[in-house]
Amino acid sequence: LIATYCEKIGKMDGLTIDQVELPPFEKPAARLVNNFAFKLLNEIASDNEDNVVFSPLSIFTSLATLRPALNGTSLEQLNDVTGLDTIRESDMNDMYDGIFKKSSSYKLKQASRIYVDRGIRLSRSYRTDLYRMKISRARRLDFRRAPEESRNKINKYVKKRTRKLIKELVPVGAISSATMMYLVNAIYLKAKWDIPFQKSLTRMRRFRVSNNESIRVETMISKNTFCTRYSAEWACQVMQQTYKRGEHIYSFSFVIMSPHSAGNFSRFYDDGVTTMQEKMTRAFNKIWTRRGNRQQQLCSVKLPKFKVDYAENIKEVLKGLGIRDIFSINADFSRLSVRNNRELYVSEARHSAVLSADEAGVEAAGATAFGISLRSTSLQVTVNKPFIFALRHDPSGALIFVGKIVRPSVG
Report pLDDT digits (tens) over 212-260.
999 999 999 988 777 777 877 778 888 888 877 655 554 788 888 899 8
Mean pLDDT for each consecutive 10-residue tract of the chain (411 residues)?
29 39 74 93 88 97 96 98 95 91 88 93 92 84 95 97 97 94 97 90 95 95 80 81 64 86 85 79 71 64 94 96 96 86 90 97 97 77 88 90 91 73
Average pLDDT, the chain: 86
pTM value? 0.87
Give the pLDDT of residue 111. Answer: 93
pLDDT, residue 80, reads 98
Q: Which amino acid is at 357?
A: A
pLDDT for position 117: 94
pLDDT at residue 104, rounded to an integer: 81
The full set of domains in the chain, from first to last, is 53-93+107-192+310-374 (3.30.497.10)
The pLDDT of residue 289 is 65
At residue 218, the pLDDT reads: 97
Convert the pLDDT of each residue in 294-334 to its tens digit: 556 778 889 999 999 999 999 999 999 999 999 999 999 99
